């Protein structure tokens, strides 16, 4: 087969794959951005434009997309690794925070439950690893999280980072696992979590801490105490709920950090993963519309959507407009997110596959070649 010099420039990231598959991978990502959809029936209608070929019938384009996703499970996993390796080489600089959360939806009879690990890059949550748990509702188990982190640590340098997570992500074995991996954490917890070890460590009843926090005159005033559990030292932070909720007057955190300001300010960043999920789904590429039931195909589509998301973020950061909305009782925020800014810019540039590959080539030529946290 005659080599395609346009596609060939990306072969270094996909050494074990044919050029035709690499071209289809780039085509699918291009179609995701242009169509803002993960449904193959929608995406196929954009392929004549992207390929600059109006002669091929629609069903042929659909079959082309189907064939791309019909690769073996082992090749699928390897391809996802290659996609991650390529897109994160466009980042540079240091990362302080990680965020862990899950997002769920149902498509027909298929339940999708993505346990997702993000980095916080320029204040934006960006997925770097995920597992499809194949669970009907409910939460991830401690074993689920440990498996995800064990695999992620083989690819990324995560020690020394600070993990942010919500109340779902507690458990003594899980916390010990993070300590052993040298990953700090700030995790919100329920009122009833770890009352016994906290009381035993402090030498007085847990309710005394709650009374101290409730007596604080200012909302941002908080109580912090260190305690021992299974040989590890943790901090418990109790703060008045700034939402003034009678059913939940106090908010509780457990952390390996010892500075309460760092703990409270750090946890506020956790919300960025909710914004990320919104951009991957209803406010961006409509990830919930994917029409696959096989887990390996779902994970490959997620990787391509993350690639589209990262490219949009990169364009948004390079061409950012800082116009903000001002609120009376809330912090100001961007009127248009960097993602939406970048998505508008890149969509205008990549109306064909050749143009898309040209944009990618410019990005990788100017990249600082992956000095972020990627492990070779």
pLDDT at 374: 43
Whether residue 38 lies inside any domain: the answer is no
Whether residue 43 lies inside any domain: the answer is no
Query: Residue 4, exposed/middle/buried by CB under 10 A (0-12, 13-18, 19+)?
Result: middle
pLDDT at 301: 97
Whether residue 120 lies inside any domain: the answer is yes
Contact partners, residue 194, CB within 8 Å, separation at least 6: 227, 229, 236, 254
For residues 253 and 167, what is the distance between their CA atoms, to the nearest angstrom? 9
Consecutive 10-residue averages of pLDDT for the chain (376 residues): 64 86 95 97 95 87 96 94 86 89 90 95 95 84 96 93 96 97 97 91 85 72 90 94 82 96 96 97 95 94 97 90 61 77 95 93 71 43
241 lies in which domain range?
Answer: 97-271
Beta bridge partners of 188: 253
Whether residue 307 lies inside any domain: the answer is no
Whether residue 42 lies inside any domain: the answer is no
Whether residue 235 lies inside any domain: the answer is yes
The CATH number covering residue 262 comes to 3.90.350.10
Q: Provide the domain count of the chain.
A: 1
Exposure string (b/e) for 47-67, b if CB count within 10 Å is 16 or more? beebbeeeeeeeeebbebbee
- Radius of gyration for the alpha carbons in the chain, expressed in angstroms and rounded: 23
Q: Which two tokens stand for residue 219?
A: 């909302």
């Amino acid at each position: 087969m005659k080599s395609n010099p346009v596609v060939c420039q990306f072969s270094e990231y996909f050494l074990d794959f044919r050029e035709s598959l690499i071209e289809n991978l780039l085509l699918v990502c291009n179609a995701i951005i242009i169509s803002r959809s993960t449904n193959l029936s929608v995406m196929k209608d954009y392929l004549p434009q992207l390929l600059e070929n109006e002669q091929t019938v629609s069903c042929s384009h659909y079959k082309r997309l189907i064939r791309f996703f019909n690769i073996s499970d082992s090749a699928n996993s390897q391809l996802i690794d290659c996609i991650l390796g390529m897109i994160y080489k466009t980042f540079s600089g240091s990362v302080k925070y990680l965020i862990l959360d899950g997002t769920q939806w149902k498509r027909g009879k298929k339940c999708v439950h993505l346990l997702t690990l993000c980095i916080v890059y320029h204040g934006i949550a960006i997925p770097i690893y995920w597992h499809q748990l194949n669970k009907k509702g409910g939460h991830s188990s401690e074993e689920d999280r440990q498996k995800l982190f064990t695999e992620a640590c083989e690819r990324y340098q995560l020690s020394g980072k600070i993990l942010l997570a919500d109340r779902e992500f507690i458990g003594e074995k899980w916390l010990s696992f993070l300590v052993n991996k040298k990953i700090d954490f700030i995790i919100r917890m329920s009122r009833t979590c770890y009352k016994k070890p906290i009381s035993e460590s402090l030498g007085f009843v847990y309710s005394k801490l709650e009374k101290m926090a409730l007596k604080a005159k200012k909302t941002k005033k908080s109580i912090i105490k260190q305690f021992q559990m299974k040989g590890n030292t943790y901090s418990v932070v109790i703060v008045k709920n700034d939402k003034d909720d009678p059913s939940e007057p106090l908010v509780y955190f457990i952390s390996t950090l010892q500075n309460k300001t760092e703990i409270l300010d750090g946890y506020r960043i956790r919300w960025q993963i909710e914004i990320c999920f919104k951009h991957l789904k209803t406010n961006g590429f409509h990830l919930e519309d994917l029409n696959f039931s096989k887990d390996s195909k779902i994970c490959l589509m997620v990787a391509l959507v993350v690639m589209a998301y990262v490219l949009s973020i990169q364009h948004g950061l390079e061409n950012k407009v800082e116009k903000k909305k001002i609120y009376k009782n809330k912090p100001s925020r961007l009127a248009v997110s960097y993602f939406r800014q970048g998505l508008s810019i890149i969509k205008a540039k990549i109306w064909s596959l050749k143009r898309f590959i040209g944009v990618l080539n410019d990005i990788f030529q100017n990249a600082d070649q992956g000095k972020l946290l990627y492990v070779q």
